[in-house]
Amino acid sequence: MSRLKCERRDGYLVCYPYRRGAKRAIRRTLETLGAVGFFILLIFLLVWSYFPEVFIWLFPQAVFETENNASKLQAVEYLNRIRGEEGIPPVQLIDLSVAKYRAEYLARTNLFSHYDAEGRHPVYWYTQLDGGLYGVEENLMMIHMIVGRRPTMHIAKVNYTYAIRNLVFNDVLSMWGHRDSLLDPCNNYVAMATSYFWNITYGARYYVVYMVAKWVEWVSPPRYEGGRFTAEGYAAPEMKPKIFAVYYAKYESNPASRHSYNVGDLYLCKVLYTPFARCKDAQEPAGVFTVEKARDGRWRIKIDTSVALDRLGLYTFMIIAEDLRGIKWSPKAPWGDARVGKCVIMEYTVAK
């Protein structure tokens, strides 16, 4: 029973229930609310852990952009402004299926590497999806965050100019390899794609930038079939074909550890156009290797050679040309000088 408090009023004894002080009542109320709040928070965390999709439905995230063509055009204009300041000719936008495929692959697997999970470098997928017609270089960039709040604009929105700026000017950790790829005069086209990944704990925006050296008009595109490699076409007058080479690479055993790529070691090599010249440290393939100047100034190329794939791995067929334009530019990568004046104008990879 409640305690009674009695007092005399006008000669009468009046009794009524004892009322606690206001401060004490407020304190008790807050304690009760605190306990209730604690249990609500505990239930919230348990449901979040086991059913995160409930909270994605209850609290919608920012609308993610999957693509933005206007942003691509702005980025190409920005890249050309940088190239122009260095005395390097501009690039044009080109559509490559491999760029989109690689962007989607990164988001699907979260394997941020130039190699796929099977250890294949990107030229393999370029050949599968786009034919291996030209020289290409893959450049990757990732923006990521630990989720616990709404995604930043850098992840939710597409901004190719931001990606280009970082690949060119903030590339010291990659030893300036991305910067040199984006500025190389050999590359006259660029393809771009993007993707994003987002869940309850992690978010990322991926950018894929393919620099393309498109200098050959193919009559018969590169093809490897039945042990023979064939190709026939016309290279631009400023690109004099000098070397036909085949490179061999094993499948990469630890793709996640690799943040650069190469096409392997020299396997076969043939000097073009220069009689009696030979490559060092590589066997010379037998077959037809024709390079001659056409009346319109272009270089006619015809190759028909037998190439045995005697080991498991990736075989990359290349045509390397001398750039006759004499463009002066300064690579920053330690190995960058080796690329000056030499352009890979065809890159075609097959797997065994």
- CA 78/CA 165 separation, integer angstroms: 8
**Tokens describing residue 151:** 């995604």
pLDDT above 70: residue 192: yes
Share of the chain above pLDDT 90, in %: 72
Lowest average pLDDT, out of 19-28, 201-210, 220-229, 254-263, goes to 19-28
Q: What's the chain's average pLDDT?
A: 88
Are 189 and 212 in contact, with CB atoms under 8 Å apart? yes
Pick from 126, 110, 118, 348: nearest CA to 252 = 118
pLDDT given at position 54: 43
pLDDT above 70: residue 2: no
pLDDT above 80: residue 104: yes
Lowest average pLDDT, out of 33-42, 115-124, 147-156, 207-216, goes to 33-42
- CA 8/CA 23 separation, integer angstroms: 27
- CA 28/CA 22 separation, integer angstroms: 10
Share of the chain above pLDDT 70, in %: 80
**pLDDT tens, residue by residue, 258-315:** 989 999 999 999 999 887 889 988 999 999 999 999 999 999 999 999 999 999 999 9
pTM of this prediction?
0.82
Lowest average pLDDT, out of 53-57, 132-136, 218-222, goes to 53-57
pLDDT band at 145 (very low <50, low <70, confident <90, very high): confident
- CA 104/CA 87 separation, integer angstroms: 34
Lowest average pLDDT, out of 52-61, 87-96, 230-239, goes to 52-61
- CA 192/CA 69 separation, integer angstroms: 10
pLDDT given at position 119: 98
How many CB atoms are located within 10 Å of the residue 240 CB? 18
Distance set, CA 275 to CA 164, 279, 319, 333, 342 (Å): 43, 12, 17, 33, 20
13 residue type, one letter: L
Are 139 and 167 in contact, with CB atoms under 8 Å apart? yes
Lowest average pLDDT, out of 58-62, 139-143, 249-253, 257-261, goes to 58-62
Half-sphere exposure of 251 (CA within 13 A, CB side): 12
Environment class of residue 147 by beta-carbon count within 10 Å: exposed (0-12), middle (13-18) or buried (19+)? middle
pLDDT above 70: residue 48: no
pLDDT given at position 44: 53
Residues in the chain: 352
